[in-house]
Structures are given as structure tokens and as C-alpha cells.
Structure 1
């Protein structure tokens, strides 16, 4: 969950797509966006990171959900694949594409050599050819703070405002566990 520019809470689902094809109908009308993580524009490159068969399952899920967008984690090993991923997103009918600047948290903390600087990420993004009708965005580390993740196991973790660490994982007990505050401390 995050906030849009008007301060409204936005609920989105980010998934690797493994079960999306069979669950897409359940999500329809209940979330503002569905985003599927792809780490490569074809089975060889994506499956090398996510596991055998994951590309097919993810793209089947995208088609079933008529997904809001595809997203990828932007790092050195995926930077050269961005154009192919954008072309794939457009070709299968996704409404948008987001490149998430890799954060030094979770698995990203163990991969410091993979991190691009914000300037490097901006240069990679500026060189892309964006097909008409496809929304693209680069979410930098600076803009990545203050979101809540509800994991598949029902536990919650919250990213801090400065996106340099993740708050503790705890059970989802009620709506109060989902409330985010703005940078000035307001809800």
C-alpha cells in the first residue's frame, strides 16, 4: 500500500506471477494495480534469476490479469534488458512498466556490486524507446520509502521513509497495521 499524489491510499499487488493466472479474477475490483516482477525479457534470462518455468507462469498471469504493469529491479545485470522488457510489456498488453532502483535491503543488501547509482539509472532510463500508450517510470531509491508489504504468509513489513532498512515483520492484525505516515508524520 502506498499513497497517490492526492494522499489517497493505493493498494497494489506485486507478484512473481506464479499463481496469478488462476487468481486474477479474485483480485479484480479489489486492488488499484497488479504488477508482475520480471527480471528478464525471455525465459532464459528471467528463469536464470527466478527459476525454471517462472517466465511462462509470469507472462500467463500478466495476460490473465491484463496487468497494470510489469516491474523489474534495476541493477547492473538487468540494465541491458530494460528495452526488451519494455517491448515485452507493450507486446502483451501491460499498461505500464516500472524499473525499481535496487534497494540495499533484504536480498539487495548482499549484492552491493549490482547497485547502480541514481545517475546511472537515470541515464539508462533516458536512453529507452517507449512505445506509444505504455506508461513507464523509474522509482529511485529516494522515492522508494514508506510502503507496507503484506506477504503471502499474512505477515507485514514496512519500509522506512529513507528506504535503507525494513521494519520488523509482524502479523497482520488489523487495519492499523496498514496505515502509512507521510514524510511530515501525518497519516
Structure 2
């Protein structure tokens, strides 16, 4: 199960969560951290504004342990275009992009399917002119919506996003320009930090995401300190997955889950920050809808991803067993 460290300060505000129930289990999905929590409290179903400090005290549950016919959450990458070229990117750049009208169709199918949360990723989702429309479609069906971005265009779009999405996750691979730009290109740190500050200023629940690799584990503490300085809710350290572009780096950069846990366990976490580690086990069976409109799913240990079929009806997101139950 994932490692999670909460602080009372960062968890204090209310935010929008997605809620659901199956059998006798009630649960809440957090669009900011990507975690699902089990609760015994009586809560309204659907999109609900809850105290983040209360949710922080509820135990996490792996979505595969819930009796659901569709995933709790999915990652939707409606485009492969990106202004950066990160060597550890999970996306498949050979996948064709659907037209704008087809993106709207996919958004409606996701909403109709019964998934609780959609993280819009890419590629770089802030390159989409229709991002707001897609988010509005999803929220109209009761989904919570997050956006994962490299932050380059976040400063100019933060004001609009504040009325469109429930959370923003900014990808940062270093606490300064030298370390971050090594992975993502010149100027990317400055733009990402400016965008993050703008998102925080517009009261968007915001967190940093850092790919944990051999080359970056040594700066993990400084990433936590940067999160505190920027005023974001926290940091999620993502275990590197040998998928997409990242497959070429796996031999030199991939940590074991045990090494990753030890890195996070050794951090000094300020009061204003929450820290989560997403291990490869956590990512096992996770569902992705790519720019081609097809449903893809990580294998059980997140060392590969398989395309299943086109998303043509809500039933195409149905789970077929534990390997697909995330």
C-alpha cells in the first residue's frame, strides 16, 4: 500500500472529492493525491466538498479491493503533443490524436461510465484549447477532474482553470533550474514554478509530482522543501515506470520499491506539506485512455501496458479482474 505522510496545516482546508459506495463500503477519491480512502461516515454520493483534514485520517484502500465494475479513476491523455521532450515520459508518441469532436465524445463516455475521477494528462494538456469544455463535460456527470501538466503554460491558464478543474499536478524533476532543466529542457523550471505560484494564488488545489529515479532520489528532501516554499499541498513521488519513453532508462534509473520507500521514510516533512509515494504496485492495473481513444491498462506490476479496445461505449471501461481493477 502507498506511503502517505500528512501534515495538519496542509490538510486543513475543504476541497472537492469524489465519493462512492459498493456493498457496505463507502469511499472517497482525492483528485489531488490520486488516493482512495475508506470511510464509515455518512457522506453524500458524487462530487462533494469535504474537510481535507478529515479525509486525511481515513485509511487508504487500493481500488482493486473495491467491488466495482469500472475503475475508480482513469488517466486520460487526449493528446500526444508536448512542448517538452522528457526522456522518462510514459506516453506513446506514435499514437494518433482524435479530432476535437471525438475528444468531446470520449469525455462524455468517461462521464457516463461511472468512473469517479479523471486525470487529464498528455502530452501536455494545457496545449488543448478545449480543455475547459472537456473538464465541464466530465464534471457535469459527477466526476472530479485533475490536470497533470509540465507547468510551462500554467501561469497564463491558471485563472481559467480555477473554475474548471478540481486539482492541478505539476511535474517537477528537480528543486532548481539546473537539476530540473536537465530532464525537461532549458527554461522549464522557471516556467513551472511561475505557473505553480499562479495556481496557488488562484486557490487551485495544487501539488508537485516528481519521478523518483536513481538520479533524483538524492534531491527528494529539497523537493519537499520546495513544495513548502511554493505553498502547494504536497509532493507525490512517482516510482519510475518502464513504459513509453521511460523504458530506455529503466536499467540505469529504476529503483526498487524498497529503495523508494526508504527514501521517502527518511524525509523531514514540514508542517505545511503532505508527501505520498506511488509505488509500482500502486500503479498496477491502472487504466489509461490514450489520444487514439483506446483503453489501455498497466499490467499487475506496472512494468508494461496493453491496449485493449476502443472506447466506443461506457461498458468498454469494464474491469475484467484484479489486473484491471485500479
Smaller-chain TM-score range? 0.7 to 0.9
8 A contact 1:98–1:138 mirrored in 2: yes
In structure 2, distance between residues paired with 1:34 and 1:65: 8
Q: Return 5+ residue gaps in structure 2 as ranges.
A: 1-30, 39-62, 64-71, 73-115, 119-145
Deviation at 1:128, TM superposition (A): 0.5
Deviation at 1:20, TM superposition (A): 1.1
Deviation at 1:165, TM superposition (A): 1.8
Q: Which has the larger radius of gyration?
A: 2
Aligned to 2:284: 145
Q: Secondary structure at the residue paired with 1:109?
A: helix
8 A contact 1:3–1:10 mirrored in 2: no
Aligned to 2:36: 4
Q: Secondary structure at the residue paired with 1:56?
A: helix
Pick 1 or 2: higher relative contact order, CA cutoff 8 A, min separation 6. 2
Aligned to 1:89: 227
In structure 2, distance between residues paired with 1:60 and 1:96: 17
TM-score normalised by structure 1 residue count: 0.83
8 A contact 2:284–2:323 mirrored in 1: no
1:102-117 equivalence runs, <5 A: 102-111=240-249, 112-117=251-256
In structure 2, distance between residues paired with 1:143 and 1:10: 16
Deviation at 1:166, TM superposition (A): 2.4
8 A contact 1:148–1:158 mirrored in 2: yes
In structure 1, distance between residues paired with 2:323 and 2:184: 38
In structure 2, distance between residues paired with 1:146 and 1:44: 35
Deviation at 1:25, TM superposition (A): 2.7
Q: Secondary structure at the residue paired with 1:55?
A: helix
Deviation at 1:172, TM superposition (A): 7.1
Aligned to 1:119: 258
Deviation at 1:185, TM superposition (A): 6.2
Quick one: structure 1 residues 131 and 166, their matched pair in 2 at CA, closer, same or farther if it must change by over 3 Å? same
Q: Superposition RMSD on alpha carbons, in Å?
A: 2.9
1:63 matches 2:192: no
Deviations 1:95-144 (A, max 9, x none): 01000000111122111220111111111111100000311010000001
TM-score normalised by structure 2 residue count: 0.50
8 A contact 1:146–1:159 mirrored in 2: yes
Q: Return 5+ residue gaps in structure 1 as ranges.
A: none
Aligned to 2:215: 77
In structure 1, distance between residues paired with 2:176 and 2:215: 14
